[in-house]
Amino acid sequence: MKHLLSIEELTAGQITALLDDAVRLKAERGRHEQPLAGQTWAMIFTKSSTRTRVSFEVGVRELGGFPMFLSKNDIQLGRGEPIKDTARVLGRMVHGCIIRTFAQQDVVDFAHYSGIPTINALTDDEHPCQILADLLTVKEALGGWEGKKIAFIGDGFSNMTISWMWAAKRLGFELAVAAPAAYQPPAEFLAKLDAPNVTVTADPAVAAKGAHVINTDVWLSMGQEDQQEKEEAFGPFQVNAGLLADAAEGHIVLHCLPAYRGKEITEEVLEKHADVIFQEAENRLHAQKAVLVALAKR
Ligand code: CP
Ligand code: NVA
């Protein structure tokens, strides 16, 4: 593994190896190796972040490295310097880069032009670090995903859903995506995914019925804040007590956060499942440390 640009490009073996190492690093926190000793890792963020920024800054430090946070307004990227030039400069100075931005192509280009390990910290197309943390949480809470039904209720073609669909393709678990018709994955994407274990419905009750994991996310992702008309389609897709009534016994609820209570999830459901949801947030740290260790070893 040279970079982490998407879940799509990972194999099942790579995903399970990362999760096994995340379990180890979590257990050995404060006592494990420091493979980033003497290294500087840049963190280019062109969108807001709480969990991703903090978990990467802490993770790089715990592995012995120095995280250098660069918001787009701190660097010339924000004034239009091309990503390929930014990449060729940083590639000569730092040891790795973590990027949160809009276009997936920018992350791909950064990896190509910099030649240094590059991690996708969220683009419009994928949020691979979050899905690794979510899978770690499923593993801890339910013992794994084999034989489990996972539901995703909300935007059917966001970075989160796309990464979940690739995870289902690679790992083979049942994934039911419920989204309004206009926000479902397009036919070309589903043809490329070619995963009979991934189903798409416009009925959230169908997806939630018998589900062991119910997952949701904001209706308006970063950059879509002015698309109020989009939000209007999502009313029936709220994760609330009624929707969860037919979920499997012992089900868990996941939310990558930040959560908008009263929109995609109710206060009642979020607080009832807060232990697992904040365990999921903490797992960002452990899953990403496993990614950093894997990239440092290459
Ligand atoms: N879930 C997640 O990526 O959170 P942040 O936007 O706060 O980093
Ligand atoms: N889909 C959301 C995820 C936030 C962590 C967004 O892109 O804003």
34 CA to centre of ligand 1 in angstroms: 25
- The whole-angstrom separation of Cα 107 and Cα 142 is 33
Query: DSSP secondary-structure letter at 261?
Result: B
Query: What is the pLDDT, as a whole number, of residue 298?
Result: 67
Whole-structure pTM value: 0.98
User: Is residue 159 in contact with ligand 2, taking CB distance under 6 Å?
Assistant: yes
Residue among 98, 235, 213 at smallest CA distance from 164 = 213
Ligand 1 — pocket residues by CB below 6 A? 49-52, 122, 130, 256-257
CA distance readout (Å), 78 to 81, 101, 265:
7, 11, 34
- In order along its 298 residues, the chain shows pLDDT tens digits of 999 999 999 999 999 999 999 999 999 999 999 999 999 999 999 999 999 999 999 999 999 999 999 999 999 999 999 999 999 999 999 999 999 999 999 999 999 999 999 999 999 999 999 999 999 999 999 999 999 999 999 999 999 999 999 999 999 999 999 999 999 999 999 999 999 999 999 999 999 999 999 999 999 999 999 999 999 999 999 999 999 999 999 999 999 999 999 999 999 999 999 999 999 999 999 999 999 999 998 6
Q: What does the pLDDT look like over 197-250, one tens digit per residue?
A: 999 999 999 999 999 999 999 999 999 999 999 999 999 999 999 999 999 999
- The whole-angstrom separation of Cα 293 and Cα 241 is 40
Atom 7 in ligand 1: which residue has the minimum CA distance? 50
